[in-house]
Amino acid sequence: MTTQNEWVFAKGALRRGDWESVVDDELAGWQHTGLRVAELGPGGRLPLPAAGVERLVVPLSGSFMVEHRVSGALETTHLAGRASVFDGPSDVLYLSTGASATIEGEGRVAVAEAPTAEVHPSRHVRRDEVPVELRGAGRSSRQVHNFGTPQVLDAGRFIVCEVITPAENWSSWPPHKHDELQAGQESRLEEIYYFETAVERGLDGPPQADPFGFVRAYSSPAGEIDVLAEVRTGDVALLPHGWHGPCVAAPGYDLYYLNVMAGPDPERVWHISDDPAHGWIRATWEAQDVDPRLPYERRP
């Protein structure tokens, strides 16, 4: 018997040391993906000890210096960041399995992780190299930054991207799943959602504004899950299995999420199956334009 929203964690509920949130295999039932989120003040510094995981450092707000070491060689990479996650792509840094690192800077930063013995070279992906995809149409329009997908990044296990959903729009839609191995059709992937919310771009909200969105997931033959939750900046949702979608941006409030996916399959690929009750909706996008508010780019 599953409990509603047992896989959703409010900001700080997964705190560990200097990290605001940590997701790893210390959580019961979790094994293929990881995430760390922290906010650094002036002079902030966070160590990432060497471990059997590959990592992707993603500035959420602010810019960062990352000092990293692989096989004795020390390198320093400057990550040109952004004012917020709603200001276009950021530089990201892929850290090879076994690399140690130290993050320095001021702002919010996320580190995606996946356990793997595979070793791929560390890589600085600059923001002008990040493919920006406008997915869907009409009220299903959203913006995807594909900096950690197989087509862009050579990695061992994980697939990482971020999604911006403008106010009133739905993303992660139609509902879909990736919890059964069906060669060429569906892959098995755990998934982490890390959320941020903000007053809709172009609006001046009052001080008491409370940006939020919603996330939904429900049971599939692979397992029980029941999620229908409000989410705000710093919240985390974990999807071990099941149909998931939509993520809904409330009127007046934009919604962002960072996705980290990985699984046990031999191939690193994102193959999904739509819920047959709702998959037909994709065809309706052909007669609609993409939301003219997109893309959200870097503000002057």
- pLDDT tens digits, residue range 264-297? 999 999 999 999 999 999 999 999 999 999 999 9
Q: Which two tokens stand for residue 293?
A: 């508010």
Q: What pLDDT is recorded for position 71? A: 77
Residue 247, token pair as written in the block: 């993520």
Residue for token pair 């870097």? 298
Rounded Cα–Cα distance for residues 186 and 15 (Å): 33
pLDDT for position 41: 96
- One DSSP character per residue, 160-192 reads EEEEEE-TT-EES-S-EE-EEEETTTEEE-EEE
The pLDDT tens digits of the residues spanning 182-225 come to 999 999 999 999 999 999 999 999 999 999 999 999 999 999 99
Burial class from Cβ neighbours inside 10 Å (0-12, 13-18, 19+) for residue 184 reads exposed
Taking the C-alpha atoms of residue 243 and residue 91, their distance in angstroms, rounded to an integer, is 31
**DSSP character at residue 32:** S
For residue 70, what pLDDT is reported? 78
The predicted-structure confidence for 40-73, as pLDDT tens digits, reads as follows 999 999 999 999 999 999 999 999 999 999 777 8
Tell me the average pLDDT across 255-260.
98
Q: What is the pLDDT of residue 288?
A: 98
The whole-number pLDDT of residue 194 equals 99
Average pLDDT over residues 81-110: 97
Give me the pLDDT at residue 299, please. 85
Q: Is the pTM of this model over 0.75?
A: yes
pLDDT at 2: 79
Q: CA nearest 173: which of 122, 213, 207? A: 213
Pairing of β 92-95 and β 123-125: antiparallel
Q: Are 37 and 19 in contact (CB under 8 A)?
A: yes
Query: Could you report the per-residue pLDDT of 104-157, keeping only the tens digit for each?
Result: 999 999 999 999 999 999 999 999 999 999 999 999 999 999 999 999 999 999
Tokens of 91: 């530089």
**Cis status of the peptide bond prior to 59, with omega within 30 of 0:** no
d(CA 132, CA 143): 7
Angle at 67 between CA 66 and CA 70, to 5 degrees: 120
Mean pLDDT over 157-168 rounds to 98
Phi, psi of 6, rounded to the nearest 5 degrees:
-70, -15
Q: How far apart are CA 166 and CA 149, in angstroms?
A: 22
Domains of the chain: 8-284 (2.60.120.10)
Residue 300 has pLDDT above 80, yes or no: no
- Confidence (pLDDT) at 73: 82
Q: What is the mean pLDDT of the chain?
A: 97
Residue by residue, DSSP assigns 42-105 as EEEEEEE---SEEEEEEEEEEEEEEEEEETTEEEEEEEEEESSTTSS---EEEE-TT-EEEEEE
> What was the pLDDT predicted at 170?
98
Kindly state the average pLDDT of the residues 4-13.
Answer: 97
